[in-house]
Structure 1
């Protein structure tokens, strides 16, 4: 586009035309498909993508992209958090006071918003020697850390803080693998669970990542090493756990390892603490986040002492074991080689078409048609120079990667071999 003029976010005015805004994407929401009402002007399907752009310590603005599903999805996958981009000829409009839509976007300093249309606007990568200048803004909180609330205050004031938005500075204590769940609407989606803590309480708080960009970035988060500043997380009361928890919502902006003196202080305190497990029964730790190594004799010693734990507790060790596979049960006559679980609550079921028996699950006891997932479930024995570890399970994504085979393919092969075996 010709005759465009560069405009910092702080100089934007309504109805400006032919502008180019350069900044770094600090937040990206999942793209969404919108079914348009059919009228003489609009018909069919469009998509929308929201992101937040920052070009200085003080200035950041929300942007919305509209277009065809293919166009918007391509932009969403191309321009990620940390991308330094040029937004060209976007429509500049003033944010409305008390606009209910503000609940669904992050709090920003600009009084305006940017709207990009497929046919009149453009977004592209910015390549220049000063690109690094923008990247430093990724580690600067978008709100004053002096106004952050500590976890102890949140846990002890469930009534007064219920449904309120707060800012917290926390240390990551646990990062799970990405897993798929079924939403209440019956849609399959990916989530990633993690735990955080601070120096005001021994309790940790469980959080769930829903946006695919944060799920991707959490691959690099390290327990007791990564510090997060969470701006505008929502306080909700968990009836099942009977305590307040934090929920990451569309308003939330996450700043990784913020440039604050409190960051190093919090990291130092948590590095001296023992490993903390997840409070979720279904969260499996991200293997990349596990660094502690143990020999089999150390593990068996811990297991033998497990009787000292409370009756309602369980032992969980997050360690790396360097061992040899001594035995592996791939017997085609073993019905447990392939297992089925409810996609929602992960409860085991005996058949792929059977409903789980969890009354708290939306698909439990036949309330809805069951949606079950198939997984490989192999019994493995391990051996090292110090002893044997018997009865280990190799399952789910780890098993599929180890055998270079999906559960569905193994199931079909299992049935063929099994019928041959039995006859």
Structure 2
């Protein structure tokens, strides 16, 4: 321990017992939840606030800490430290935990106890990093589960819906970190969401969702294509819209960044060796997405107005953007004679010739052999209809098409004959519904 702490007698988490006289403990914060408010049963009309965090002082011991109190106190305490920092807790209340009740929503800990903080009796102090013993700091890179106890992303995909709703451990590399999205629910509660893409040797892209502010803040500190994470007790779900498996960070989840384990070191080496390739894939994916900021588009058009503008701008190369309220009146995905998927060049993103299956664009950044690999992408033609008319042969391609249909192009093309029949029914009823709307 650093000199500033050497004179203080800290109780090890493994030695905690109820009725200890003014215990003082030190540990690294390895997990933390958002502040929440609840109606105060003793004072009708008012609220009590709470948040929890998990601290660790040895490879084998960590414990959950909960604080209750007034809004100002709880929010101020929560803002004072983050995951990855060291704290000293003085005079907490040590209570025996009810395992089934406590660990339903909180991290599973080896301790038989939990700590409660009181505004009037407990004190939490933050330690600066230079004051902290290296043995404590090293705990931030030690998973709370056996380093071999995890699913690869390929295992999760292979097991599919058999893992739906299961809580498991995952070891993976961070591929990309999305911007936080903020929203307001129907009952006026504020919410947030952030999607992190993961990958490993077995799967190129896998979505992990963060719904609380603390996990989103933690995710923002990771470095894409470099940071390896061990997510203990993360929930796996089948996303019906995407038709794939996803992971969700929950209140039980403890995430260890860059674990110091043999398994994580192997994955880290894989990330370094493939950094250039994954960076190029991410760049191509970004290029294929609409580059304009969608939030800046405010002009609303009808089909009739769009046709008039297209006629007026005929021969001009610059695009214009707007909002159209319409429905898809034609979506032909069941006709075997219609080509619904084509190959794109991995170098520039443009469609390639079927005959040569190579990119002929002079602007493509090809490799030394003059070739680039190709990948499949939806290339659909649809009709859009509103009360003023119909826009024929509109293009619906790439990831936008996948999000609209709810499945990837590879899943669509590899379905069984039975599933093809379901696609035909989907197309038939989709267009029948469209005709009913237009009548």
Q: Cα gap change, 1:116/1:306 in structure 2, threshold over 3 Å: closer, same or farther?
A: farther
Establish whether residue 224 from structure 1 lines up as the match of residue 270 from structure 2: no
Displacement, 1:151?
1.7
Establish whether residue 9 from structure 1 lines up as the match of residue 10 from structure 2: no
> 5+ residue gaps in structure 2?
1-7, 292-344, 354-373, 380-395, 401-439
Q: In 1, distance between residues paired with 2:214 and 2:18?
A: 30
Q: In 2, distance between residues paired with 1:34 and 1:65?
A: 13
Q: Which residue number in structure 2 is paired with residue 106 of structure 1?
A: 107
Report how many residues are paired.
294
Q: Which residue number in structure 2 is paired with residue 161 of structure 1?
A: 163
Larger deviation, residues 181-190 vs 44-53: 181-190
Q: Cα gap change, 1:105/1:306 in structure 2, threshold over 3 Å: closer, same or farther?
A: farther
Establish whether residue 34 from structure 1 lines up as the match of residue 7 from structure 2: no
Q: 3-state SS of the aligned residue for 1:147?
A: coil
Q: Cα gap change, 1:14/1:160 in structure 2, threshold over 3 Å: closer, same or farther?
A: farther
Q: Which residue number in structure 1 is paired with residue 262 of structure 2?
A: 261
Q: In 1, distance between residues paired with 2:38 and 2:186?
A: 19
Displacement, 1:224?
1.6
Displacement, 1:137?
1.0
List aligned pairs for 1:351-366, cutoff 5 A. none
Displacement, 1:211?
2.7
List aligned pairs for 1:204-219, cutoff 5 A. 204-219=205-220
Q: In 1, distance between residues paired with 2:271 and 2:166?
A: 27
> 5+ residue gaps in structure 1?
285-298, 317-423
Question: What is the RMSD computed on CA atoms of the aligned residues?
Answer: 3.0
Q: In 2, distance between residues paired with 1:283 and 1:219?
A: 24
Equivalent of residue 398 in structure 2, options 281, 298, 314 = 314
- Indicate conservation of the 8 Å contact 2:95/2:115, yes or no: yes
Q: Which residue number in structure 1 is paired with residue 244 of structure 2?
A: 243
Q: In 1, distance between residues paired with 2:146 and 2:87?
A: 26
Determine which structure has more spread, i.e. the larger CA radius of gyration.
2
TM-score (norm 1): 0.63
Establish whether residue 126 from structure 1 lines up as the match of residue 210 from structure 2: no
Displacement, 1:17?
2.9
- Indicate conservation of the 8 Å contact 2:235/2:247, yes or no: yes
Q: In 2, distance between residues paired with 1:283 and 1:228?
A: 30
Displacement, 1:117?
1.1
Q: In 2, distance between residues paired with 1:160 and 1:262?
A: 25
- Post-superposition Cα deviations, 1:61-100, rounded to whole Å, max 9, x if no partner, equal 000011110001011111111221111111111111422x
Q: In 2, distance between residues paired with 1:29 and 1:129?
A: 25
Q: In 2, distance between residues paired with 1:305 and 1:17?
A: 73
Displacement, 1:248?
1.0
